[in-house]
Chain A
Amino acid sequence: MKLSNYPIDGKYGKYGGRFVPEILMEAITELEKAYTEAKADSAFQKQLDYYLAEFVGRPTPLYYAENLTRKLGGAKIYLKREDLAHGGAHKINNTLGQALLAKRMGKTRVIAETGAGQHGVATAIACAALGLKGVVYMGTEDCERQRLNVFRMKLLNTEVYPVESGSKTLKDSINEAFRDWVTNLESTYYLIGSTMGPHPYPMIVRDFQSVIGKEIKQQFKQKTGGLPDALVACVGGGSNAMGTFYPFEDDTDVKLYGVEAAGEGIKSGKHSATLAAGREGVFHGMYTYILQDKNGQISQTHSVSAGLDYPGVGPEHSFLKTLKRAEYAYADDKEAVNAFLTLCKEEGILPALESSHAVAYAMKLAPKMKKTQSIVVTLSGRGDKDVETIAKYTGAKI
């Protein structure tokens, strides 16, 4: 069985599934049907392609990072510049796709969760462009940390609901979005921001994000005539990584590396490295790896990058880990900040702190590989939003 044929009946091996309250079962079945129809409809695909080209600015460049390559003295490093997509991150690929789907389904109101605010902003952009009412749930803790993004969403005509419950972060904003959805099922589309949640969401988000991997394949071939030796992407919920990996899943010569956030170190307990330190369980509608305590309660997570701060992970990543098709590594806060500073200095690019985890791992990987080999690192977003965090972390005054 080809890996790219999964999910089969909503599952990636034993991972995935639909662990949701009964009230949502018909809705996710309806969603799957609508998505399958849309996928097969060339008019829908054409509409999506139009927005991706004219509105998002795709294809994003695949940039050869010559200075960084020279500095590391190993494999050639290429950067997939999702930071140059409209909104400053890969998130828009998915929000546009799903917002078009929502419209097609006749929904008028779109809800979303957000942690750092990137998915919230991308949702707000898609809703404004397509004339949908946007509502974003965001933990009060995150609202405070990312005040600028809250204001950006408001400017884009989206309502932001602060979430006071639980740990007041991303996982709680997802809980709250689910609660909204069961209450307003008729009018509302839940636009999940990562390859997570009940089937069909991990598949839908992966498919819309796989434009990243498809472009990499094409662009790399154009530049070199072949395939890269390795792909590296950061993993929180795992959408930019899944979008990067998916078109290469069956190209077994291409190594896949997912990089999680080790925060203050795995041993410190203050991290979000779900695949490295979690256990299998059921959370947010899916069977997957989860960071949990000895009683099966979901753990609090930590990372310097709010976008990776999630105690679960997309089920397809759990599947790829179990099959050893992808390797999952981690980078801690310090390594990510160091990678951020390095890319600024060497290449003139400010990567998002999330993406900096991928850069950090590539910096370890490249010197161990031959000069004739190549690594593609997905730069999932730009780092302008993180400069305050970097200043704080490095003790700089701004």
Chain B
Amino acid sequence: MNTIKSTFQKAKANSSGCLIGYITAGDPTPEATPKIADALIRGGVDILELGLPFSDPIADGRTIQDASLRALNAGTTPMRVLEIAAQIRSQHDIPLVIMTYYNPVFHFGIDKYLAAAKQHGVAGFIVPDLPVEEAADYRKAAAAHNLDTIFFASPATSKERLAKIVAASSGFLYLVSRFGVTGAQSSVSDSTVQLIKKVQPQTVGKVPLAVGFGISKPEHVQTVIAAGADAAIVGSAFINIVEQNKQNMLLELEQTAKALKTATKT
């Protein structure tokens, strides 16, 4: 079975970075998600983040806000997201990570939800509104169920905080590329490159470094991998395709993923 760790190791052996894809589970419908995941994985996504939609996603831009709303309106629940995960896992041996805000997990019961996630084949969690200081219960449950805890670093994170965050992270570290929320952008700025170069020495040998927010094109992927990141995270660019919901959506997703994956090769 491929874990997050072995996936990064394999990519490295192939002189390649990883492509991490994000989609909101249940967008446009729970039934559609496994097909969308299949297209992305065939295109070359190495690790897939499944968004468990939340009503008030404060770290997300318009694209993921709208996707969350569509998924909630389609009746997506925390348990349904895990069923979707299991369905994807039955077809593909790639690591799946649940990304969500803290309240749906807390409300379900932290230990209960993480246990169920493990049973459904999930490899780890990303919770953007849960900084390390508030994460004791969550980390305990994740350790008990052998799930990776992926924390964030940002352009505002000090060296001291970064050391604490790296120590609490497993799977990978999610580096937010810029000041702002999620959402596709036309270019990756020099400050992102500088940021990667600044953070990388503190993560190397400890936890893989993945860069997200605003990464939507092959040249962005190339830039962040060349700067020293182990992975690029792409979300809104895929969701924009899902949102249009055209007839050739799956093909377009696969081709987009393929182009992005090609760009991870050094």
Report if A and B associate in a common complex: yes
- Interface residues, chain A, CB within 8 Å of chain B? 17-27, 165-166, 171-172, 175, 178-179, 182-186, 279, 281-285, 290, 292, 295-298
| Interface residue SS majority, chain A | mixed
Q: Which residue of B lies closest to A24 (CB)?
A: B156
Q: How many residues of B contact A (CB 8 A)?
A: 41
Interface residues of B in 44-98 (CB under 8 A from A): 54-59, 61-62, 65, 69, 72, 77-78
Distance in Å from the Cβ of A173 to the closest Cβ of chain B? 11
Distance in Å from the Cβ of B181 to the closest Cβ of chain A? 5
Q: Mark B89-114, 1 if CB is under 8 A from A, else 0.
A: 00000000000011111111000000
Q: Which residue of A lies closest to B59 (CB)?
A: A21
Which of B61, B105, B128 has the most A CB atoms < 10 Å from its CB? B128
A297 and B158 within 8 A (CB): no
Residues of chain A within 8 A (CB-CB) of B133 are: 18, 25
Distance in Å from the Cβ of B115 to the closest Cβ of chain A? 17
Distance A344 CA – B213 CA, assembled complex (angstroms): 54
> Which of A18, A22, A284 is B152 in contact with, Cβ under 8 Å?
A22
- The answer to whether B129 has its CB under 8 Å from any CB of chain A is yes
Q: Which residue of A lies closest to B175 (CB)?
A: A22
Residues of chain A within 8 A (CB-CB) of B61 are: 179
Known A21-B128, A23-B156, A285-B129: A297·B181 in contact at CB below 8 Å = no
Q: Mark B136-172, 1 if CB is under 8 A from A, else 0.
A: 0000000000000001111111100100010000000
Which of B56, B77, B179 has the most A CB atoms < 10 Å from its CB? B56
> Which of B72, B102, B156 is A297 in contact with, Cβ under 8 Å?
B72
> Which of B56, B59, B69, B107 is A182 in contact with, Cβ under 8 Å?
B59
Residues of chain A within 8 A (CB-CB) of B154 are: 21-23
Known A182-B59, A282-B106, A283-B103: A295·B78 in contact at CB below 8 Å = yes
Distance A178 CA – B77 CA, assembled complex (angstroms): 25
Please give 5 more A-B residue pairs, beta carbons under 8 A apart, in addition to A21-B129, A166-B65, A296-B105.
Answer: A21-B58, A165-B62, A296-B54, A296-B78, A297-B54
Q: Which residue of B lies closest to A279 (CB)?
A: B107
> Which of A179, A186, A285 is B181 in contact with, Cβ under 8 Å?
A179
Distance A22 CA – B128 CA, assembled complex (angstroms): 7
A179 and B55 within 8 A (CB): no
Distance in Å from the Cβ of B82 to the closest Cβ of chain A? 13
Known A165-B62, A175-B56, A179-B58: A282·B102 in contact at CB below 8 Å = yes
A26 and B161 within 8 A (CB): yes
Q: Which 10 A-B pairs have the closest CB atoms?
A: A296-B107, A23-B154, A296-B104, A22-B152, A297-B55, A183-B180, A178-B58, A298-B55, A26-B156, A282-B102
Distance A14 CA – B101 CA, assembled complex (angstroms): 19
A292 and B107 within 8 A (CB): yes
A19 and B134 within 8 A (CB): yes
- Interface residues, chain B, CB within 8 Å of chain A? 54-59, 61-62, 65, 69, 72, 77-78, 101-108, 128-131, 133-134, 151-158, 161, 165, 176, 179-181
Which of B59, B128, B151, B152 has the most A CB atoms < 10 Å from its CB? B59
Residues of chain B within 8 A (CB-CB) of A18 are: 131, 133-134
> Which of A22, A23, A166, A295 is B165 in contact with, Cβ under 8 Å?
A22
Residues of chain A within 8 A (CB-CB) of B103 are: 281-283, 290, 292, 296, 298
Distance in Å from the Cβ of B113 to the closest Cβ of chain A? 10
A185 and B69 within 8 A (CB): no
A185 and B55 within 8 A (CB): no
Distance A172 CA – B61 CA, assembled complex (angstroms): 13
Residues of chain B within 8 A (CB-CB) of A22 are: 128, 131, 151-154, 156-157, 165, 176
Residues of chain A within 8 A (CB-CB) of B165 are: 22
Selected A-B contacts with CB under 8 Å, 30 pairs? A19-B134, A20-B129, A20-B131, A21-B58, A21-B131, A21-B152, A21-B154, A22-B156, A22-B176, A23-B156, A23-B176, A25-B133, A26-B157, A27-B156, A165-B65, A171-B56, A172-B56, A175-B57, A179-B58, A179-B180, A182-B180, A183-B180, A185-B156, A283-B103, A285-B129, A296-B107, A297-B55, A297-B72, A298-B55, A298-B56
Distance in Å from the Cβ of B244 to the closest Cβ of chain A? 19
Known A166-B55, A183-B180, A297-B55: A25·B108 in contact at CB below 8 Å = no
Distance A290 CA – B62 CA, assembled complex (angstroms): 24
A25 and B107 within 8 A (CB): no
Q: Which residue of A lies closest to B101 (CB)?
A: A282
Distance A281 CA – B129 CA, assembled complex (angstroms): 13
Residues of chain B within 8 A (CB-CB) of A184 are: 179
Distance in Å from the Cβ of A111 to the closest Cβ of chain B? 14
Known A178-B58, A297-B104: A25·B181 in contact at CB below 8 Å = no
Known A23-B156, A183-B180, A282-B103: A17·B134 in contact at CB below 8 Å = yes
Distance A390 CA – B122 CA, assembled complex (angstroms): 54
Distance A279 CA – B107 CA, assembled complex (angstroms): 9
Distance A298 CA – B53 CA, assembled complex (angstroms): 12
B179 and A185 within 8 A (CB): yes
A183 and B179 within 8 A (CB): yes
Known A22-B153, A295-B77: A182·B181 in contact at CB below 8 Å = yes
A19 and B131 within 8 A (CB): yes
